[in-house]
Structure 1
C-alpha cells in the first residue's frame, strides 16, 4: 500500500530531526560520599556575589532549554537594577556544556577554580550534573535548584550542598498514574520513557496506580532520535494511552512518529516535555528541516500534561503578570514560553534564598536559608525544603492543550511524597510578588 504524501513529509521531518538528541532530566546518579559544607564567603564582595551554571546553549539539548538561562538572566537584571540583594548585585556566569558530561566537569571546575563562584545555580541535566555533584559537595560549593527531577538531588546526608528544583519524577509519576487510572478507566496504557533516571524514577510512581492496564513499555536512548520502532510497538500492543516521560525533542518526535504510522493515542506528557510553545516550535522546526509542513496546533490538541508552575497563558495570575513585566523590559524579543518562565522562577527563588541568608553572607548561611522552609511561590505547589529534605516542588496539576495551543487545567494542584503516601489536593498559601518583594529594604 502506498504511503500518503503527508506520511512521507512527516517521515522526512523525522529524518531531518535525527541530528537532535535528548534534553535534560536523564542519566545516572552519583554514589560517592560528600564532605561537610564549607562555611566560606568565596565569590562574595561588598557589592557583588558571583554565581555560575552549566547549560546546553549548543548541542542536542539546546532546543528549548537554551532559553532557561535567558529567563534567569532577565530576573537577575531586574534584581540588580533595583539595587541587588542585601546591597549586592548578582554576577551570573553561564557556561555552555553542550549537554556533554565530560564538558560539564570541565566548565564547572572552571567556574569553581577560576571564576571563584559562590554557588552553582540550576545546573541542567541528570547525566551532566551527576558528574559534578560529588565535586561540588567536596569543595563545599552550594549546588542549588538543579534543573532535573531525579531523586538523587534529595539526599541531605550524602550531598548536603545539593538541592532540587522541579517536582521529582516519582511524585509526578504518581499524580499522572492516579489521573490515568481515574479518567481513562478501561483503556490500555503504554509507557514511553527515557532509558535512565527519568524512566526509572517515573515508573516508581506510575506503577503504584497502573498495573494490568499497562500493555507495553518502550524506552528511548537520547542518542537515537528514530523512535518510529517504539511507537509502532506501542501501536501493535494496542496502547490507547501513551505516557511519554520525554524531554521536549522526544515528545515532538513521538508525536510525529505516531502521525507517520497513523497512530492516534492519548498522549500524557510530563512537565519536562509538555510546554506547548516549545513543542510547537520543535514540530515546525523538525518539519522545516526536510521541507515538510505540519500543523502544530492539530498535532498537539488534546495532549494531557502535568506542571507545577503557572502557565504563561494564565494572564490573571499575579506571578505571570510579574514575570511578563520583567520579560517585556529585559528580553522583549524572546517568546515568553513556559521554558523561559522556568528560568525566571528559578532565578527568583535563588534570589529569595540569597536575601534570607542575610547581609553577612556565607555558603553555609545560604544552605541554612534553603532548608529554613521560608521559600514560597511562585509555583502552584510548595517546596519540600527542610533540614531532612532537599526536594524541590512537591506536586503538580494536570492540564490539557486546547486546539489553539492554550491550556486548561483538568485537575488542580495536588501534593504527595516520593514513596507510597497519598496524593492530596493542595490548598496552602501562595505568596504574591508583593508579599515576597525581594527589592524591599
Structure 2
C-alpha cells in the first residue's frame, strides 16, 4: 500500500509539472527541450537595426502573423508557438551571441527564421555541431550549406548562387552581350556575383561578364554610375542590399543610362518600389514567392492575418516568404509521428514530400537533400508594380 501511495504521489507530481508548462519528457525518458504540454518555444535572428533592417522588420511581421493566427486557432496539436526574435543587426558576432542566448538561456526547441548568409553560417559550429539544434532558415544560404548534407539544417530558399545563375541566363536570353555585375565586397556577395557568368554561358559563350565590387554600405553611387557609363554595358546585374540597389539605380538614371537591371530575391519588396520610383522601372528580379496581391485562398489568408495581427504592415514579398517558411515548420510539426522531440521533428522534415502551400513552390526534403525548394518566380517592375514574367523556373533546367 505504501508503494502504491508513493507511486500515485509521483504520478500526480509529474502531471502537475506538465500542467504548469514544464518540459515534456518522452516515454523513453528523453527531455524534449523547448516543448511543454502547452507550448513549443522556437527562436530566430533578424536584422531589426542596421543597414538591412527594412528586410528584417518585414520578415518578422510575416512569420509573426502566421504564428499568431495559428495560436488563436488552438496552436499546433494543442501547443501554442512561442517565437523569440533576436536582433542580429546583420553582424556575425551578434548572430553567434543570439544563437547562444536562444539555446542556453531560452532553451528553444528549434531556430526557425533568420536573415544573413555569413551571419547564420557563423553559428553552425555551435548551433548545428555542438548544440545539435534543428535550423530552418529564413533568408540566407550558400551552396556549401547543402553539400554535404548537415543533419539538422533544412531550407526552402533557392541559394543565391542559383539565383545569380538565373539572372545571368535571363540577361543573355534577352540579348545582352556586355554585362557588368555590381556587387558588395564581402565574400558572400562575391561568391554570388561569380555565379552570374555560368548562367550567361548557358545562352552565349561570347558574351562578356565583368565584376565591379563596391564597399558594403556605400551610399554615394555617383562614381559607380559614371564608371558604368564608361564601360558601356548593355545590361547590369546588381547583387546589392535594397538601399544600395536604389542608390545605384538612381545614379544610372542621372547618367541617362537606360539599361536593364537584374537583381536577386531579397530586393523584391514594396520598399524597392516606393524608394526607387521611376529609377527602377523595368527592374528584373527573381522572387521566392507568388505575388502578395494575387487572389488565391492561401494569399488571401496571409493578407487577412497581416491586417489583424500586424495592422501597420502592408502585404509584401518579404513577409509573404517568411509566412511560407512558417507554414513549412508547422506542417512538419503536424506530421510528427509520436512524441515531439528534435529528432522526431527532423525525421518529419526528411519525409516531407510535395508539400503544396500556395506561397512558395512545393517543398520536398529527403535523407540526402535538405534543400526543399528549387524554383524561382521571375518578376519585373512595370508601371510601378511587380508583375510576374511567366511561371516558376528551375535555374538548373532550360527555361
Give the TM-score, by structure 2 length. 0.85
**Distance (whole Å) between structure 1 residues aligned to residue 395 and residue 209 of structure 2:** 26
1:242-286 CA-to-partner distances (Å, cap 9, x unmatched) read: 1112221221121122123332211111111132x1213444xxx
- How far off is 1:49 after superposition? 0.6
Q: State the secondary structure of the residue aligned to 1:178.
A: helix
Matched, 1:333 2:312: yes
- How far off is 1:323 after superposition? 0.7
Superposition RMSD in Å? 2.1
User: Which of residues 382, 396, 402 in structure 1 aligns to 2:376?
Assistant: 396
- Superposed counterparts of 1:55-66, under 5 Å: 55-66=46-57
- How far off is 1:384 after superposition? 4.9
Contact 2:293 2:315 in 1 (8 A): no
Matched, 1:310 2:290: yes
Q: Unmatched 5+ residue regions in structure 1?
A: 1-38, 284-295, 425-441
- Superposed counterparts of 1:265-414, under 5 Å: 265-275=259-269, 277-283=270-276, 296=277, 298-314=278-294, 316-358=295-337, 360-374=339-353, 375-403=355-383, 405-414=384-393
Contact 1:148 1:165 in 2 (8 A): no
Structure 1 range deviating more: 237-246 or 47-56: 237-246
**Distance (whole Å) between structure 2 residues aligned to residue 208 and residue 67 of structure 1:** 30
Q: State the secondary structure of the residue aligned to 2:298.
A: helix
Instruction: Look up the match of 2:98.
Output: 107
- How far off is 1:308 after superposition? 2.7
- How far off is 1:215 after superposition? 4.9
Query: May I ask how many residue pairs the two structures share in their alignment?
Result: 364
Instruction: Look up the match of 2:223.
Output: 229
Select the structure with the greater relative contact order (CA < 8 A; seq sep ≥ 6): 1
- How far off is 1:113 after superposition? 0.3
**Distance (whole Å) between structure 2 residues aligned to residue 108 and residue 386 of structure 1:** 26
Q: State the secondary structure of the residue aligned to 1:279.
A: helix
Q: State the secondary structure of the residue aligned to 1:85.
A: coil
Structure 1 range deviating more: 67-76 or 377-386: 377-386
- How far off is 1:63 after superposition? 2.0
Contact 2:46 2:86 in 1 (8 A): yes
- Superposed counterparts of 1:109-148, under 5 Å: 109-137=100-128, 138-148=130-140
Instruction: Look up the match of 1:27.
Output: none
Q: State the secondary structure of the residue aligned to 1:413.
A: coil
The verdict on how the C-alpha distance between 1:411 and 1:341 changes in structure 2, with shifts beyond 3 A counting, is same
**Distance (whole Å) between structure 1 residues aligned to residue 138 and residue 313 of structure 2:** 23
The verdict on how the C-alpha distance between 1:61 and 1:162 changes in structure 2, with shifts beyond 3 A counting, is same
The verdict on how the C-alpha distance between 1:320 and 1:368 changes in structure 2, with shifts beyond 3 A counting, is same
- How far off is 1:324 after superposition? 0.9
**Distance (whole Å) between structure 1 residues aligned to residue 304 and residue 122 of structure 2:** 37
The verdict on how the C-alpha distance between 1:280 and 1:400 changes in structure 2, with shifts beyond 3 A counting, is closer
- How far off is 1:174 after superposition? 2.8
Q: State the secondary structure of the residue aligned to 2:380.
A: strand
**Distance (whole Å) between structure 2 residues aligned to residue 395 and residue 206 of structure 1:** 19
Q: Unmatched 5+ residue regions in structure 2?
A: 1-29
The verdict on how the C-alpha distance between 1:186 and 1:402 changes in structure 2, with shifts beyond 3 A counting, is closer
Q: State the secondary structure of the residue aligned to 1:41.
A: strand
Instruction: Look up the match of 1:48.
Output: 39
- How far off is 1:74 after superposition? 0.8
**Distance (whole Å) between structure 2 residues aligned to residue 367 and residue 423 of structure 1:** 33
Structure 1 range deviating more: 186-195 or 327-336: 186-195
**Distance (whole Å) between structure 2 residues aligned to residue 373 and residue 300 of structure 1:** 39
The verdict on how the C-alpha distance between 1:367 and 1:40 changes in structure 2, with shifts beyond 3 A counting, is farther
The verdict on how the C-alpha distance between 1:263 and 1:213 changes in structure 2, with shifts beyond 3 A counting, is same
Instruction: Look up the match of 2:6.
Output: none
User: Which of residues 185, 190, 194 in structure 1 aligns to 2:180?
Assistant: 190
**Distance (whole Å) between structure 2 residues aligned to residue 136 and residue 174 of structure 1:** 30
Q: State the secondary structure of the residue aligned to 1:395.
A: coil
More helix by share: 2
- How far off is 1:408 after superposition? 2.4
1:68-115 CA-to-partner distances (Å, cap 9, x unmatched) read: 112111100100111111111100001112112111111210110000
Give the TM-score, by structure 1 length. 0.77
The verdict on how the C-alpha distance between 1:107 and 1:414 changes in structure 2, with shifts beyond 3 A counting, is same
- Bigger Rg, which one: 2
Q: State the secondary structure of the residue aligned to 2:180.
A: strand
